[in-house]
C-alpha cells in the first residue's frame, strides 16, 4: 500500500497466494485490444455510469452510480478519477495494493460528500479487472459484472451483490424466478455507503486468447449471457461493445449501459487488424 490508511475489506473467493504463485511462475506479457462504449439509454436523463480504460497500468473499471440526479454521476466519476492515479505497479501484489488504496480514498471522499449534501443514498457499484503479466484479479462491489470468455465459453467471474442473488444462493428462488423478482435491483454492497468499502476478489491466471467483458447492469437487464457471448465472438472489441450497446438500445434501454471488452493475446503473436479506437467520454477516456 502506498498510504497509511487501513485497507478496505477484500474477500477472496479463491486461494490468492496459490494463484499469485502460479502467475509469477508463468511470467509473460500480453497485448491488449480494448473496446469501450457507454450510453444514457432510452429512459434516464443522466448517464450515471463511468468507466476507465487504463491499459498501460493493467486496469479496466466500470462504476454505476446511485443517489439520483447528479449525485450518481458524482459517485461513479469520483471512483474512476481516483483510480486514474494508480500509476505503474512493480508486481501483481503491488497492483492490487494500489487499487485497494485508491478505492479506500474514493470511499472516504464519497462519505464526506454525502454528509455535506445530506444524502442518505449515495454511492456506486464498482467492478475492476487488474492484469499484471499472467496474473489477473477481479474486484467488485454491487451488481456490475465481469465475464470471461475462454475457448468459446462464457463464465461470470463476479457474483452479484444483490438481495435476489442471495435468495437464489439460499435456494429460495430459482434463476428464472429471480428475473421477475420485484426487488431484483436492490444491491447489498457499494462504494460510499459505509466507512470501509467491502469488495469481493477473484484472482487467477490469464490464458492466451482470454476475453474479459465488464458491464453495468444496464446491459444484463436486457441482454442474456448467451447473447453477450454471441455479440463478442468474431468481433473486434470495439465492434463488440458497440453491438451490445445497440442491442440494449433496441430493447428499450431502461437504464444507462456501459461495456468494456478486453482481449488478451501474447505480445509475440501476430497482431490482428486494429479495431476502431475505444469510445470515450470525460469519465472514460484512455488514461
- Cell numbers describing residue 76: 461513479
pLDDT at 23 over 50: no
> Where in the chain are the domains?
9-266
Burial of 48-85, coded b for 16+ CB within 10 Å and e otherwise, reads bbbbbbbbebbbbbbbbbbbeeebbbbbbbbbbbbbbe
The region of weakest confidence among 25-39, 133-147, 212-226 is 25-39
* Residue 268: Cβ within 10 Å count: 8
Sort strands 49-54 and 126-132 into parallel, antiparallel or unpaired: unpaired
In this structure, is the dihedral angle defined by the CA atoms of residues 127, 190, 11 and 176, taken in order, positive or negative?
negative
Stated pTM of the model = 0.86
Residue 118: which residues within 8 A CB-CB, separation 6 or more? none
- CATH of region 9-266: 3.60.40.10
More confident residue, 125 or 119: 125
- Of the pLDDT bands very low, low, confident and very high (cuts 50, 70, 90), residue 274 is very low
- Give CA–CA dist 20/17, Å, rounded: 5
Separation of alpha carbons 23 and 46, rounded Å = 41
Written as nine digits, the cell of 17 is 497466494
Percent of the chain with pLDDT over 70: 83
Q: What's residue 13's pLDDT?
A: 57
CB 200 within 8 A of CB 13: yes
pLDDT in tens, 186-199: 999 999 999 999 99
Question: Between these two residues, 187 and 284, which has the higher pLDDT value?
Answer: 187
The pLDDT of residue 213 is above 50: yes
Task: Judge residue 156's burial from the number of C-beta atoms within 10 Å of its C-beta, 0-12 exposed, 13-18 middle, 19 or more buried.
Answer: middle
In angstroms, rounded to a whole number, what is the distance separating the alpha carbons of residues 240 and 134?
A: 24
Angle between helices 16-25 and 92-117 (to 10 degrees): 130
Q: Is the pLDDT of residue 219 over 80?
A: yes
pLDDT of residue 70: 82
What pLDDT, on a 0 to 100 scale, did the predictor assign at position 27?
53
Instruction: Report the C-alpha gap between 47 and 44 in whole angstroms.
Output: 7
pLDDT over 90 percentage in the chain: 72
Cα dihedral: 59, 265, 136, 154 (round 10): 100
Residue-level pLDDT at 169:
87
Q: Whole-number mean pLDDT of the chain?
A: 87
DSSP 102-140: HHHHHHHHHHHHHHHHT-SS-EE-EEEEEEETTEEEEEE
Give the alpha-carbon dihedral of 230, 64, 202, 233, to 10 degrees.
Answer: 10
Q: Alpha helices of 136-216 — where are they, by DSSP H?
A: 163-169, 175-178
Average pLDDT over residues 112-123: 92
**Residue 167 CB contacts under 8 Å (≥ 6 apart), including other chains:** 173, 178, 181
pLDDT of residue 159: 96
Q: How confident is the model at residue 233 (pLDDT cuts 50, 70, 90)?
A: very high
- Given pLDDT bands bounded at 50, 70 and 90, which one contains residue 20? very low
* Range 91-112 average pLDDT: 97
Residue that wins the pLDDT comparison between 2 and 207: 207
More confident residue, 177 or 264: 264
Which has the closest alpha carbon to 232: 210, 216, 249, 253? 210
pLDDT of 29: 80
Amino acid at each position: 500500500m502506498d498510504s497509511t490508511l487501513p485497507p478496505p475489506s477484500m474477500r477472496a473467493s479463491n486461494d490468492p497466494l496459490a494463484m499469485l504463485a502460479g502467475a509469477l511462475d508463468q511470467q509473460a506479457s500480453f497485448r491488449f485490444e480494448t473496446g469501450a462504449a457507454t450510453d444514457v439509454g432510452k429512459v434516464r436523463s443522466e448517464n450515471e455510469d463511468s468507466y476507465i480504460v487504463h491499459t498501460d497500468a493493467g486496469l479496466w473499471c466500470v462504476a454505476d452510480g446511485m443517489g439520483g440526479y447528479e449525485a450518481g454521476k458524482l459517485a461513479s466519476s469520483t471512483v474512476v478519477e481516483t483510480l486514474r492515479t494508480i500509476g505503474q505497479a512493480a508486481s501483481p501484489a503491488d497492483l492490487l495494493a494500489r487499487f485497494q488504496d485508491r478505492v479506500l480514498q474514493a470511499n472516504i471522499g464519497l462519505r464526506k460528500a454525502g454528509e455535506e449534501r445530506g444524502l442518505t443514498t449515495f454511492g456506486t457499484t464498482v467492478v475492476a479487472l487488474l492484469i499484471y503479466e499472467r496474473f489477473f484479479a477481479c474486484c467488485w462491489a454491487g451488481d456490475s459484472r465481469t465475464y470471461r470468455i475462454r475457448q468459446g465459453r462464457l463464465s461470470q467471474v463476479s457474483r452479484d451483490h444483490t438481495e435476489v442473488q442471495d435468495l437464489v444462493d439460499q435456494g429460495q428462488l430459482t434463476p428464472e424466478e429471480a428475473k421477475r423478482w420485484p426487488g431484483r435491483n436492490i444491491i447489498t454492497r457499494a462504494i460510499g455507503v459505509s466507512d470501509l468499502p467491502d469488495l469481493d476478489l477473484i484472482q487467477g491466471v490469464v490464458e492466451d486468447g482470454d476475453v474479459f467483458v465488464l458491464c453495468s447492469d444496464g446491459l444484463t437487464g436486457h441482454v442474456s449471457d448467451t447473447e453477450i457471448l454471441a455479440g463478442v465472438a468474431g468481433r473486434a472489441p470495439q465492434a463488440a461493445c458497440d453491438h451490445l450497446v445497440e442491442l440494449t438500445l433496441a430493447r428499450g434501454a431502461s437504464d444507462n449501459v456501459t461495456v468494456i471488452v478486453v482481449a488478451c493475446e501474447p505480445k509475440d503473436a501476430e497482431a490482428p487488424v486494429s479495431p476502431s479506437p475505444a469510445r470515450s467520454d470525460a469519465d472514460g477516456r484512455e488514461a
